[in-house]
């Protein structure tokens, strides 16, 4: 398990860490949490109680309510500013439909910290012409093949706005400690977890 070095209560699990209840018991010792029925949408919901929400981003200013995002190659994004936190699920559809920008809307940029957990990286994330055209400045060409750096728009934005960002090195496709839907069509997911 990775613990964020810039956000106080933010974690990213690997395939070794067990299910969400096991993980929460280990790191927090209570089992309430909010999560999402993720559909690669760009919907972000403001919430204040535990449950399962139809969206791909949730945010709360509630104290002590963990937000959980489930991923296996998509980007798990955890955010904190002042007393607001967010958990976001971002695949290429979500990024293309501006889920990152939508999830920023209520945050104070001056105090915003963003942590990006393990996801499919440009070492392995081969895409076809259609995605290359959607993400021209995020695609690398190597020996006639295209590879996507899906977080590049986020990195560029944070650099431009001077927002503190951490990105973990692990790639879910080539690091066997992580579930990869692309590699194995696994039904399992790892988690990003944040609370305040
Ligand atoms: Zn890789």
Q: In CATH, what number is assigned to the domain containing residue 18?
A: 3.60.140.10
Cβ of 95: how many Cβ atoms within 10 Å?
24
The reported pTM is 0.97
Q: Which residues surround ligand 1, an ion (CB under 5 A)?
A: 121, 123-124, 171, 173-174
How far is ligand 1, taken at its centre, from the CA of residue 60, in Å?
Answer: 33
State the Cα–Cα distance between residues 73 and 75, nearest whole angstrom.
7
Give 70: exposed, middle or buried? Use CB within 10 Å, 0-12, 13-18, 19+. Answer: buried
Does residue 44 form part of some domain? yes
How far is ligand 1, taken at its centre, from the CA of residue 125, in Å?
Answer: 7
Residue 141 banded pLDDT, cuts 50, 70, 90: very high
Sheet of 57-60, strand order: 44-46, 57-60, 84-90, 75-81, 113-116, 164-167
Q: So what's the pLDDT on residue 10?
A: 98
Does residue 130 form part of some domain? no
State the Cα–Cα distance between residues 42 and 66, nearest whole angstrom.
21
Does residue 75 form part of some domain? yes
* Domain assignment of residue 173, given as a range: 2-119+163-194
Mean pLDDT, residues 165-169: 97
Count structural domains, the chain. Answer: 1
Does residue 141 form part of some domain? no
How far is ligand 1, taken at its centre, from the CA of residue 171, in Å?
Answer: 5
Does residue 38 form part of some domain? yes
- What are the pLDDT digits (tens) for 48-85? 999 999 999 999 999 999 999 999 999 999 999 999 99
Mean pLDDT, residues 24-50: 95
State the Cα–Cα distance between residues 155 and 45, nearest whole angstrom.
23
Does residue 10 form part of some domain? yes
Mean pLDDT, residues 102-127: 97
Kindly write down the DSSP assignment for every residue of 135-148, as one continuous string.
Answer: SGGGEEEETTEEEE
State the Cα–Cα distance between residues 141 and 25, nearest whole angstrom.
44
Q: So what's the pLDDT on residue 31?
A: 87
Residue 45 banded pLDDT, cuts 50, 70, 90: very high
Q: So what's the pLDDT on residue 196?
A: 94
Kindly write down the DSSP assignment for every residue of 98-130, as one continuous string.
Answer: THHHHHHTTS-GGG-EEEE--B--TTT-EE-HH
Residue 194 banded pLDDT, cuts 50, 70, 90: very high
Does residue 124 form part of some domain? no
- What are the pLDDT digits (tens) for 92-107? 999 999 999 999 999 9
Percent of all residues in the chain with a pLDDT value above 90, rounded to a whole number: 98
CA-based angle 151:161:99, to the nearest 5? 45
How far is ligand 1, taken at its centre, from the CA of residue 35, in Å?
Answer: 27
Does residue 186 form part of some domain? yes
Q: Is the pLDDT of residue 29 over 90?
A: no
CA-based angle 51:56:59, to the nearest 5? 60
Residue 122 banded pLDDT, cuts 50, 70, 90: very high
How far is ligand 1, taken at its centre, from the CA of residue 173, in Å?
Answer: 5
Residue 30 banded pLDDT, cuts 50, 70, 90: confident
């Amino acid at each position: 398990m990775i613990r964020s070095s810039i956000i106080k209560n933010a974690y990213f699990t690997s395939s070794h860490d067990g299910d969400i209840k096991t993980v929460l018991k280990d790191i927090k010792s209570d089992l309430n949490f909010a999560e999402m029925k993720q559909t690669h949408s760009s919907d972000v919901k403001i919430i204040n109680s535990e449950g399962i929400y139809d969206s791909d981003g949730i945010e709360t200013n509630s104290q002590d309510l963990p937000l959980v995002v489930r991923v296996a190659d998509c980007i798990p994004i955890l955010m904190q500013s002042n007393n607001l936190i967010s958990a976001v699920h971002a695949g290429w559809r979500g990024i293309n439909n501006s889920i990152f920008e939508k999830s920023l809307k209520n945050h104070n940029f001056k105090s915003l910290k963003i942590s990006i957990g393990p996801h499919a990286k440009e070492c392995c994330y081969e895409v076809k012409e259609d995605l290359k055209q959607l993400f021209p400045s995020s695609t690398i060409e190597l020996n006639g093949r295209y590879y996507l750096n899906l977080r590049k728009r986020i990195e560029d934005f944070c650099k431009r706005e001077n927002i503190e960002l951490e990105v973990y090195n692990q790639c879910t496709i080539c690091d066997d400690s992580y579930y990869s839907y692309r590699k194995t069509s696994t039904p399992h997911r790892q988690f990003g977890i944040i609370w305040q």
